Amino acid sequence: MLIADCGSTWTKILDTGSGKLEIIKTRDMVKRRDLHFDVATGHSAKGRCAVFRNELIALAEGALALVPDPDFSVVDVGGRDVKFVRFRDRRVDKLDWNLSCGSSTGATMELLGNYYEIDFRTLPPSADWINVTCGVFGMEKVLEQVSTGTPAEESIAMFLHGIVRNVYDFAGRPETLHLSGGFCENGCFLKTFAGYCDIKPLGRAVPLEGLKAK
Partner 1 sequence: MIPEGDGRIIGYYGYPRRSLLAGARAAFGAELPLVDLDIDYGAPDAGLLPKATCSIITNIMNNAVWLSGRLAVVVAAVGEDKCDGGRNIAWLLKGMGFNVVESRFTGGGAGRPLVWSTSAGPLAERIDRIMETVVEPEPRGAAAQGPGTSGAPRRETGAIAAPPRCEPTHGFWGVPPNDFSILGLFPPTTHIYGWTRCVEAGRPDDLDLETFVDPGVPTVFFTQSFCAKQNLAHYLAERHGGLEVDCHREINDSIMAKVEAFIKLS
Kindly tell me which residue out of 19, 34, 100, 175 binds partner 1, with binding defined by CB under 8 A. Answer: 100
Binding of residue 18 to partner 1 (CB under 8 A):
no
**Ordered DSSP codes for 128-197:** S----SSHHHHHHHHHHHHHTT--HHHHHHHHHHHHHHHHHHHTT--SEEEEESGGGG-HHHHHHHTTTS
For residue 61, the minimal CB distance to partner 1 (Å) is 9
For residue 95, the minimal CB distance to partner 1 (Å) is 6
Kindly tell me which residue out of 32, 36, 54, 124 binds partner 1, with binding defined by CB under 8 A. Answer: 54
Binding of residue 81 to partner 1 (CB under 8 A):
yes
d(CA 134, CA 45): 27
Binding of residue 93 to partner 1 (CB under 8 A):
yes
Burial letters 177-189, b for 16+ CB under 10 A, else e: bbbbbbbbebebb
| Residue whose CB is less far from partner 1, 83 or 141 | 83
Binding of residue 76 to partner 1 (CB under 8 A):
no
Q: Give the distance, in angstroms, between the CA of residue 61 and the centroid of all CA atoms in the same chain.
A: 16
Segment lying near partner 1 (by CB under 8 A), choices 94-102, 141-149, 181-189, 190-198: 94-102
Binding of residue 56 to partner 1 (CB under 8 A):
yes
Residues 6+ apart with CB under 8 A from 69: 87
Binding site for partner 1 (CB under 8 A): 54-57, 60, 81, 85, 91-97, 99-100
